[in-house]
Amino acid sequence: MFARILMKLHLTRGQKAVAFAYAAVMAVAAGISLMIMSAVNGGTAIPPEPTLYDNWIVLVGGLAAGVALYVSRGWLGGRGALGVARAGVATIIVTCVTAILTGLLVVPFYGAIAGPVIVLSEFAANPVIAASWVGILFAAHMLFGLLRHEQEAVAHVSALSQLSALSRANLYRH
């Protein structure tokens, strides 16, 4: 069923990878935001019967992560050591923007200030949550790399097609 829907959208392999990256980051952020807020509220686990407030936290956490990933999309997908360093910067950007937006929408005004502090303190207290967040963001970096490679290949082919046969023979000898 899912394959049939994707076929109708006519997405390339890189576009499918980016769509999956958005979905994965948003899902992980929704879960992490619920875990953090249940710990802040005094619970040690996810509540057995989610309230409207819990559902709001999940929705806002996922949407904020999607917005944050969109904001930092230019930093993701690079190759080599510079690409990894840029992905590290994107991780910081996505974390801060997600925390600010989620905090702002969960607890207006005060949450924009407290959100990043709560997230960082929870990451320090529970490194498994931090590792899963950083891991999913670096996986998104790799998936964005597929789209960037695809776009570079298309740009290279279109640039070569604009040259005459003589120019291609003289400039691009192998």
For 120-155, letters b (16+ CB in 10 Å) and e give eebbeeeeebbeebbebbbebbebbbbbbebeeeee
pLDDT single digits (tens) 39-67: 777 665 566 787 888 889 999 999 999 99
| Neighbour tally for 22: CB within 10 Å | 19
Instruction: Please tell me whether the overall predicted TM-score, pTM, comes out greater than 0.95 for this model.
Output: no
| Cβ 83 vs Cβ 145: under 8 Å | yes
pLDDT single digits (tens) 127-150: 999 999 999 999 999 999 988 888
d(CA 9, CA 136): 25
User: How buried is 60 (Cβ within 10 angstroms: 0-12 exposed, 13-18 middle, 19+ buried)?
Assistant: buried
d(CA 102, CA 113): 11
